[in-house]
Amino acid sequence: MLLELQAFETKALVGTSLPPRRIATGERLMRAVREIAGPLAEVVSHAEAPWASITFSGARHTLVLRFAGSDAVSDGENFVIVLPEHEFRLRGQLVADAAVTRVDHELVPAPLMEVECEILLLSED
């Protein structure tokens, strides 16, 4: 005896979708950093550490970006200038500090720049 699968109703499967995925704060921050770093920037690493004071809580994010090639290095130099004064718009978060902590340049065999930055996010809750 063979079952005919078409004979069974599958209403529950039709039109079912997963609920929208909530984007984590770290991912939203990385998207914002990529926007000001430019399309040629590569995020090499991202670390997040909890941070708190008596009145505030949040997280310190450390990012390393690589800019390979002369056009990318130009974007990287602009990123170093713009980051400390950039007005981030992250829902529920306040950027208390954004600083470039390290910049490494290489010219041989090809232009390369690596930038490390720290961004302190405070929860607005």
pLDDT digits (tens, 9 = 90+) for 86-97: 999 998 899 999
Which domain does 71 fall in, by range?
A: 24-123
The token duo for 46 is 């991202």
Strands ordered across the beta sheet of 57-68: 41-52, 57-68, 112-123, 93-106
Domain presence at residue 9: no
Domain presence at residue 10: no
pTM: 0.79
Residue 2's pLDDT band (boundaries 50, 70, 90)? low
> Which CATH number do you get for residue 111?
3.30.2000.30
Domain presence at residue 70: yes
Residue 73's pLDDT band (boundaries 50, 70, 90)? very high
Domain presence at residue 16: no
Q: What is the mean pLDDT of residues 37-44?
A: 95
The token duo for 74 is 């130009």
Instruction: Say how many domains are in the chain.
Output: 1
Domain presence at residue 1: no
